[in-house]
A and B are shown apart, each in its own frame.
Chain A
Amino acid sequence: MASRRDFIRISGLGIGGLAISASGYGIYKNFAGTPIDPSELKVDITRTPTYCEICFWKCAGWVYKNEEGKIWKVIGNNEDQHSNGRFCPRGTGGPGMYYDEDRLKTPLIRTGERGSQTFREASWDEAFDYIADKMKAIASEYGPECFALLTHGSGGDYFGTLIRAFGSSSIAAPSYAQCRGPREVAFQTTYGEGVGSPERIDIRDTRCMVLIGSHLGENMHNGQVQEMSDAIDKGAAIITVDPRYSIAASKSKFWLPIKPATDIALLLAWIHVLIYEESYDTAYVEKYTFGFEQLKAHVRTMTPEWAYGITTIRPELIRESAREMANASPAVIIHPGRHVTWYGDDTQRLRAVAILNALLGSWGRRGGYYVPEKLGVPSWPHPPFPTPSRSWKDAFPDQYNLAYETLASGICDATVPTLSKACNFKGWIVNGTNLPKTIPDRRKLIEAIQNLELMVVIDTMPMEVTGWADVVLPECTYLERYDSIRVSPHRKPSVALRMPATEPLYNSKPAYWMAKELSKRLGLEEYFTWNSFEEMLDWQFRQIGTSLEEMKKIGVKTYDRSYDDLYFHPGQDVQFFTNTGKIELYSTDLANEGFDPIPVYTPHEEPPEGFYRLNYGRAPMHTFSRTANNPNLTDMMAENAVWINPKVAKIWGIQNGQYIYLENQDGIRSTFPVKARVTERIRWDSVFMVHGFGHDNKKLSRAYGKGASDSELISRVHLDPIMGGTGMRGNFVTFKFEPAKNEVES
């Protein structure tokens, strides 16, 4: 066995070879610098805790640095319930966010027209003075209520405090009206509680999970993907409803290749089968629910045969899949989805999902929906916030009363002066959300922005939204900063710490520091009385029986539940937070507001000839549009493609891999060409593309011009009358082979 000796010889000699190979190949070199000797790599050198900021799942993990003290890798924390020690590709690619050389490096103040991308570099003091002066002017002229915060991510905490101290309550995350809002309202009206994040679903122990348009696996919600894999291992049946043969569909026992926009018909037919085959959880329904008889009467005619004509799903497939669910009951999950703003009747669709879950008795049951617990962590003491006299809601009198969170699109609407004089917003702080790729109907968004007197954008990257800002503040990445304690609901309550692994690069700063500095200039420093962020974190940790010092060593602390109530006990009396105190199959809230108390199927517009419904979704390597320039993740997926059924491609003469343009029903053509992926995995009546590509900011050197932007093609919005969600799947596209006229190509 010469191999042992050989092996040692490489170990010794490898370093020299690597050192030679590293020099002079800068462009190819991994950003972390000197390569590490493959066999003598240290596995347990210094690590610092963090929780991931690449998506909202916020997995806790460890940041490792190499011998030079440079960030090397991020891996999961084994104690963390979100990640179970395993990060997803985006989290693993976290160092790319730090090393991205296109990052925002210093504060910028606009010098040219808004949107013209002309800025000058400024000092932090200059930037803060500029913002504070404008904010004070807006407050004195229009009132502080006319200032809004649009946010996604950790920085929202500090700017939220600042805005509320300033006197406004208009704080919106696009993750509500553009994403999961209808789901929350549907579950609140049914169960009196929302689903929350991470979703309270017990996939680990389920025997049957139904995914409706949700493509777990491509949709890399870490904990859910992990648990789905565990469930598959344990023999759980997956049922997938999707016009596209998603990865999840390929793992499914039943795939229902539904005609797009007909899901409610399928859900009602399933309800029909469960009720009329009497395979629902009778005891559960009797004990916990309200309105069963109305529901039964409502779905009487909604047979699988009826649904077949609408959904194109064969009746026997509808029956068999319903029986699969009933057999697994109560360990069954009709997955509530996450991005559910599709057709404008989304709250009703999610109501049908909630009802189906209730009939199967899955809410509060093992393998269904567990009862999450979240730790109460006190906030650093501060004076009470002033009570605003107006809010975003005044722009929508008698509308959206069931929306419990602020609508980002609502703020956008209320900024355009024509809508209402009640409260036109004059200033926005935009934190970590790339609005042009988030809010549909770009024309309206730009109009709103043009009416602002101040727009401040905080981001780590020169996303498109920064081009519209008056002031751009460069935030350091999550690997370079402290942030608020992660307190999230889960099977067990837990907290997680994010701390800087290294000093911020360039002249970037943490958001908490920006908010505190601004508070000083606005005379609001009493809301930020901590001397250092460590001081505040340590104080908070001590309130819950730990300390910053301990948390730096463990990263995540998991607590026992206060009560043994992860699932309902047999026969347990449960009071639901609804009007009737029961699970409302018949929603009294919706009836009171004048909406259908039980979901009704209404047909949606279908694509005209030569057009195809634009469906969009996720790829596991990217989060929205924010990772599109991350060197590690761009390496995995640099551009999106438009999926086209081979039959359709044949009609149009489109070859696989050919670059084409998409044009929607309103004549909007994609700025950039997109690669055609001719694949059997998509229905002939729709096309599919991954969201988040087609960046048109040249400062994003890797992402610029790569692929097409679905957001730009979503100019038609179907508003959900119940909660104001922006339904985005009613847009149709056709294929073009030339760029739009007057469009300057790169």
Chain B
Amino acid sequence: MRYAMAVDTKKCVGCSDCVVACQTENNVPIGYCRDWVVELTNGTYPQLEIEIRSERCNHCSNAPCVRCCPTGASHYADGGIVLVTENKCIGCGACINSCPYDARYSHPGGHVDKCTFCIHRIKKGLDPACVATCPTKCMYFGDLDDPNSPVSTVLKNRKFTTLIPEAGTDPKLYFLM
């Protein structure tokens, strides 16, 4: 089982609902976030194009954060989800530095916090909160090993990219182009 997410940059309007939904679902403190939306504009008026990406932890298969964690707090859970065990985390910040996506942050409680792919929800067969709320339905979630999962299906039919593949992290957050 390999959980993954695909975000359609052509449908996303950058409304940030995914971020608010994550904050409320996961009680992320105000002033912090586990996901965020990037808007990239290229060109000169009036020849322009915009790419919008809802970003979060890439749940890399080769995660530098898991590698560099001195206590094993950062680890792979079921389906390759990268998680932090709060009471193993010493808050050294190595994983924050190790992440090329800046996907981790120092929680005011001291530990390091990040996207969990809403593991509590997917265990119950629900989509992550961001996917479930997205008004444009631009996010697809599922198991890459299941050829019929929404994410596998959409990756079969669309061109996609990942962020900084050259960092060798083997990210599992795909962006449909």
Q: Which of A's residues lie within 8 Å of B, judged by CB?
A: 3-4, 6-7, 9-10, 13-14, 16-18, 20-22, 25, 28-32, 35-41, 43, 72-76, 85-89, 92-93, 95, 216-218, 220, 222, 225-226, 228-230, 232-233, 245, 247-248, 250-251, 255, 257, 620-621, 631-633, 635-637, 645, 679-684
In the complex, whether B28 has a CB less than 8 A from a CB of chain A is yes
Instruction: State which of B19-27, B57-65, B142-150, B166-174 sits at the interface with chain A.
Output: B19-27
Output the residue of A29, A229, A684 with the most chain B CB within 10 A: A229
CB distance from B59 to the nearest CB of A (A): 13
Contact A621 B135, CB 8 Å, known A21-B110, A25-B109, A31-B30: no
Contacts of B163 in A (CB 8 A): none
CB distance from B148 to the nearest CB of A (A): 19
B120 CB contact (under 8 Å) in A13, A43, A72, A92: A43
CA distance A229 to B13 in the complex (A): 9
Taking a contact as CB atoms under 8 Å apart, the answer to whether A620 and B16 are in contact is yes
Taking a contact as CB atoms under 8 Å apart, the answer to whether B137 and A229 are in contact is yes
Output the residue of B20, B25, B124 with the most chain A CB within 10 A: B20
A13 CB contact (under 8 Å) in B52, B75, B85, B108: B85
In the complex, whether B132 has a CB less than 8 A from a CB of chain A is yes
CA distance A85 to B126 in the complex (A): 13
Which residue on B lies nearest to A633, using beta carbons?
B20
Contacts of B90 in A (CB 8 A): none
CA distance A141 to B171 in the complex (A): 75
CA distance A72 to B26 in the complex (A): 9
Taking a contact as CB atoms under 8 Å apart, the answer to whether B75 and A6 are in contact is yes
Contacts of B20 in A (CB 8 A): 89, 92-93, 621, 632-633, 636
Contacts of B49 in A (CB 8 A): 250
Which residue on A lies nearest to B109, using beta carbons?
A21
Which residue on B lies nearest to A682, using beta carbons?
B45
Contacts of A16 in B (CB 8 A): 87
Taking a contact as CB atoms under 8 Å apart, the answer to whether A89 and B27 are in contact is no
CB distance from B134 to the nearest CB of A (A): 7
Taking a contact as CB atoms under 8 Å apart, the answer to whether A35 and B27 are in contact is yes
Which residue on A lies nearest to B47, using beta carbons?
A680
Taking a contact as CB atoms under 8 Å apart, the answer to whether A86 and B15 are in contact is no
Taking a contact as CB atoms under 8 Å apart, the answer to whether B120 and A38 are in contact is yes
CA distance A73 to B16 in the complex (A): 16
A41 CB contact (under 8 Å) in B50, B78, B108, B121: B121
Query: Could you list 12 further interchain pairs (A-B, Cβ under 8 angstroms) beyond the known A39-B116, A75-B132?
Result: A73-B24, A88-B17, A217-B136, A225-B136, A226-B136, A245-B41, A245-B45, A245-B46, A247-B52, A257-B46, A637-B16, A680-B43
Chain B interface extent, by class: 35 or more
Contacts of A35 in B (CB 8 A): 27
Q: Which of B's residues lie within 8 Å of A, judged by CB?
A: 10-11, 13-17, 19-21, 23-33, 41, 43-46, 48-50, 52, 75-78, 83, 85-87, 107-111, 116, 119-121, 123-124, 126, 132-138
Taking a contact as CB atoms under 8 Å apart, the answer to whether B10 and A232 are in contact is yes
Contacts of B30 in A (CB 8 A): 28, 30-31, 631-632, 635
Contacts of A636 in B (CB 8 A): 16, 19-20
Contact A87 B27, CB 8 Å, known A4-B78, A229-B138, A680-B48: no
Contacts of A85 in B (CB 8 A): 132
Taking a contact as CB atoms under 8 Å apart, the answer to whether A20 and B11 are in contact is no
Which residue on A lies nearest to B125, using beta carbons?
A43
Contacts of B31 in A (CB 8 A): 28, 635
CB distance from B124 to the nearest CB of A (A): 5
Which residue on B lies nearest to A232, using beta carbons?
B11
Contacts of A230 in B (CB 8 A): 137
CA distance A637 to B28 in the complex (A): 17
* SS class, residues of chain A in contact with chain B: mixed
Shortest Cβ-Cβ A-B pairs, 5 listed = A21-B109, A217-B13, A28-B108, A620-B15, A17-B86
Contacts of B52 in A (CB 8 A): 247
Contacts of A43 in B (CB 8 A): 120-121, 124, 126
Contacts of B32 in A (CB 8 A): 28
CA distance A247 to B11 in the complex (A): 10
CA distance A11 to B82 in the complex (A): 14
Q: Could you list some 28 contacts between A and B, CB below 8 A?
A: A3-B78, A6-B75, A6-B85, A21-B108, A28-B29, A28-B30, A30-B27, A36-B27, A39-B119, A72-B24, A85-B132, A86-B17, A88-B17, A93-B20, A217-B136, A220-B135, A225-B13, A225-B135, A245-B48, A247-B52, A248-B13, A251-B13, A620-B13, A632-B23, A632-B30, A635-B23, A636-B16, A679-B41
Which residue on A lies nearest to B22, using beta carbons?
A92
CA distance A226 to B45 in the complex (A): 28
CB distance from A47 to the nearest CB of B (A): 14
Contacts of B25 in A (CB 8 A): 41, 73
Taking a contact as CB atoms under 8 Å apart, the answer to whether B23 and A225 are in contact is no
Contacts of A245 in B (CB 8 A): 41, 45-46, 48, 50
CA distance A526 to B45 in the complex (A): 63
A88 CB contact (under 8 Å) in B23, B28, B135: B135
Contact A681 B48, CB 8 Å, known A75-B132, A86-B132: yes
Taking a contact as CB atoms under 8 Å apart, the answer to whether A635 and B33 are in contact is yes
Taking a contact as CB atoms under 8 Å apart, the answer to whether B27 and A95 are in contact is no
CA distance A273 to B33 in the complex (A): 50
CB distance from A699 to the nearest CB of B (A): 19
